[in-house]
Structure 1
Amino acid sequence: MPLQSLTSLSAVDPQQWDGLLSDGQPFLRHAFLSTLEDSGSLGPRSGWQAEHLLHVQDGRLIAALPSYRKWHSYGEYVFDHGWADACARAGIEYYPKLLSAVPFSPVSGARLLAASLEDGLELLQSLPGYLEIEGLSSAHINFTDAFTDAALAGQAGWLQRLGCQFHWQNRGYRDFQDFLDTLSSRKRKQMRKEREQVAGQGIEFEWLEGRQLREAQWDFVYACYANTYAVRRQSPYLTRAFFSLLAERMPEAIRVVLAKQNARPVAMAFSLIGGDSFYGRYWGCLAEFDRLHFETCFYQGMDYAITQGVQRFDAGAQGEHKLIRGFEPVITRSWHYLRHPGLKAAVEDFLQQERVGVLAYAEEARAALPYRQA
């Protein structure tokens, strides 16, 4: 089956694209992905060139793989820098490669978009030939959902990689105190103390939806976001235009909490909401306050999820600081197709060993959760 490839999602009808989505998650929506492109956050100069693969039949889109041609491995959160370094030492070209993922967002969800499993399998079976024709070393599909996992599990040559994140589950809590009551005494006191420390600095919080934010507030949001990179002497992935454009295209999915001292904003957390989940994405501050990060990024989000009846809170990558605050280990999956047989054999051996370590780490983390034992 010949694949069609597009370097801009604007060439795809939004209704046809969104019609392939299986849930309410916002990150694969046409509005979100096209905003990344149209705002200049993606493009050849960034090392992320859109290369969406489509299966079109009788003028109708029946399967798609949102993808990007990559010349580096930054912004992916499934780390293959070691593979690229090994290739460089062996004289093997690792870049460019093909990546199917949500740029800059380590969030699991749909990757293979298809009207049926059969349509999706046709697209996947055409992918190795496409890589060869295009001179791409490999294909990587990161943070997959169950549908994509099932499709890839039966395909020859694909290697599965496990990872571990930490998500918070709302078990029908009436309020934040109800959640605290499920914790051990020591952890309950620690969280209460952290929240009191923030309140004691005169910090108050305001929640806003996308349609409520003015451009001056988006300027502040972006300044905070960019500052998290500036302190590490890095350039931010997203442009200022991304935030305003996303607010135009999908304001109903945006949530921003502003931390204020004496009515003046000092920090923010930018999140998206969709389906049964709340997704914490970006945080930033323009001044340092004790424990403000934990309150703004975690406790405010947990409080909001309880108030809104949202079942799950995904606060992003990394973990131990989430674990002690009640975020539970969740196994994530990615899939990798490597054309070079020697590289494939070496990575396959590495992944088998890594898998044992990841599962053991998740089990150890679960034992360290702060909840009271039954």
Structure 2
Amino acid sequence: MSFTTLTSLSALPAAEWDALLPDDNPFLRHAFLSTLEESGCLSQHSGWQPEHLLWHQQGTLRAAIPGYRKSHSRGEYVFDHGWADACHRAGIAYYPKWLGAIPFSPVTGARVLGESAAASQLLAQLPDYLLRHGLSGAHINFTDAEADSLLAAQPAWLERHGCQYHWHNRGYRDFQDFLDSLMSRKRKQLRKEREQVAASGIEFSWLEGAQVTENQWDFIYTCYANTYAARGQRPYLTREFFSLLAQRMPENIRVVLAQLRGQPLAMAFSLVSGSTFYGRYWGAIAEFDRLHFEACFYQGMDYAIAAGLSRFDAGAQGEHKLVRGFEPTLTRSWHHLCHPGLRAAVDDFLQQERSGVADWIVEARDALPYRKND
């Protein structure tokens, strides 16, 4: 039995990694994670240094965790900046840390891959690994139920709760059928938003990965980068990422393009797999009122209904999603902190935070626009 790390996923055959996956979540596939690495999105320079954890038994890979050595906390969507600031004030080194996650993608899914017994052995080795390599702690974000069970059984891991908003297709025949499930005032609001975009003359077209040309990828990337530029930030993904992913996973990619008088002006990039539609990236070349809601939410709902997909995961944050029928969904992450004082302080904070998240989910459900007799 051996515990090892891997700094480049391309060094491991795709079939060997993918054999550990429990489902069809596209973000866990070798193709997706290796594309992030090979397209220049992840590196020591970017503060996302690949450091995947592997567990072999008799020469066979039995368990793994996709992971990264981090020198900052950007792009994680489970926010620990306050913990890092507190450490800085106390003279405690918070970086580097180790993170088990899908970079730049707050998507719940398997994190501790492989057979349960082997995965437990892998996790048991992690605290010693942190100490030997000068890492302040380990963080595993957006875990599924299997990972939650494994981590809860390990000593000294702290559980953190968060909230996202997902839309569920309850067998709707079309978008109007969905609207009919809403309270009258909310139904009118959504209909008005869609009518406002339609009246402007904006039209939409859907493309799968293999249908997107390189010129269209240039436009898509420009829109994506504009979203970050508007906030004074650099984009996480490179232009090469999109072309390379389209070569490796074309069947999973969906892009909706918004056009006005034949000229493209906005896009929304998504992935699909199994019964789930994953909304990911959005951008436009100029401001258009209500276009964000149409491209990112309503077009995705239309697509999910037509394709028979049951769930629309629109990503992190966004309380504005509630009024559009996206329901609050509990998310979990787990944290192992080596410094005993930091661990005690964070443990106390997380107990209070979990209570607050639970209260918010109850409040958010009351704010949903669905008719109360449904």
Please tell me the TM-score bracket, short chain as reference.
over 0.9
**1:9 matched to which residue of 2?**
9
Distance 1:232 1:158 in 2: 34
Does 1:299 pair with 2:298? yes
User: Partner letter of residue 344 of structure 1?
Assistant: R
Distance 1:94 1:225 in 2: 31
**1:97 matched to which residue of 2?**
97
Cα deviation code 1:10-32 (max 9, x no counterpart) = 01110011111111110010000
Distance 1:30 1:23 in 2: 13
Q: CA deviation at 1:319?
A: 2.4
Distance 2:157 2:163 in 1: 20
Cα deviation code 1:189-209 (max 9, x no counterpart) = 110100000001101100000
Q: CA deviation at 1:318?
A: 1.1
User: Partner letter of residue 167 of structure 1?
Assistant: H
Does 1:49 pair with 2:49? yes
What secondary structure does 1:162 align onto? strand
Does 1:28 pair with 2:12? no
Distance 2:284 2:161 in 1: 33
User: Partner letter of residue 5 of structure 1?
Assistant: T
Instruction: State the TM-score, normalizing by the size of structure 1.
Output: 0.99
What secondary structure does 1:40 align onto? coil
User: Partner letter of residue 45 of structure 1?
Assistant: H
What secondary structure does 1:3 align onto? strand
Structure 2 spans left out of the alignment, 5+ residues: none
**2:368 matched to which residue of 1?**
369
Q: CA deviation at 1:2?
A: 3.9
Distance 1:323 1:38 in 2: 37
**2:243 matched to which residue of 1?**
244
Distance 1:132 1:320 in 2: 39
User: Partner letter of residue 82 of structure 2?
Assistant: G
Answer whether contact 1:96 1:137 (CA < 8 A) is retained.
yes
Structure 1 spans left out of the alignment, 5+ residues: none
**1:329 matched to which residue of 2?**
328
Distance 1:274 1:147 in 2: 20
What secondary structure does 1:108 align onto? coil
**1:123 matched to which residue of 2?**
122
Q: CA deviation at 1:61?
A: 1.1
Distance 2:197 2:211 in 1: 25
Answer whether contact 1:71 1:95 (CA < 8 A) is retained.
yes
Distance 2:123 2:319 in 1: 36
Answer whether contact 1:278 1:305 (CA < 8 A) is retained.
yes
User: Partner letter of residue 281 of structure 1?
Assistant: R
**1:110 matched to which residue of 2?**
110
Distance 2:2 2:72 in 1: 27
User: Partner letter of residue 357 of structure 1?
Assistant: G
Answer whether contact 1:2 1:126 (CA < 8 A) is retained.
no
Distance 2:209 2:261 in 1: 24
**1:69 matched to which residue of 2?**
69
Does 1:359 pair with 2:362? no
Percentage identity across paired residues of the two chains: 70
Distance 2:61 2:72 in 1: 30
What secondary structure does 1:316 align onto? strand
- 1:248-263 matched pairs, under 5 angstroms: 248-263=247-262
User: Partner letter of residue 322 of structure 1?
Assistant: K
What secondary structure does 2:31 align onto? helix
Q: CA deviation at 1:58?
A: 2.6
Answer whether contact 2:327 2:368 (CA < 8 A) is retained.
yes
User: Partner letter of residue 166 of structure 1?
Assistant: Y
Distance 1:59 1:244 in 2: 35
**1:38 matched to which residue of 2?**
38
Find runs of 4+ consecutive structure 1 residues off by over 4 angstroms. none
**1:58 matched to which residue of 2?**
58
User: Partner letter of residue 313 of structure 1?
Assistant: F
**2:232 matched to which residue of 1?**
233
State how many pairs are aligned.
373
Q: CA deviation at 1:353?
A: 0.3
User: Partner letter of residue 30 of structure 1?
Assistant: H
**1:199 matched to which residue of 2?**
198
**1:154 matched to which residue of 2?**
153
Q: CA deviation at 1:57?
A: 2.0
- 1:134-283 matched pairs, under 5 angstroms: 134-283=133-282
User: Partner letter of residue 183 of structure 1?
Assistant: L
Distance 2:135 2:319 in 1: 36
Answer whether contact 1:254 1:273 (CA < 8 A) is retained.
yes
Answer whether contact 2:16 2:61 (CA < 8 A) is retained.
yes
Answer whether contact 1:52 1:68 (CA < 8 A) is retained.
yes
What secondary structure does 2:317 align onto? coil
Distance 1:56 1:259 in 2: 48
Instruction: State the TM-score, normalizing by the size of structure 2.
Output: 0.99
Distance 1:254 1:50 in 2: 24
**2:287 matched to which residue of 1?**
288
What secondary structure does 1:279 align onto? strand
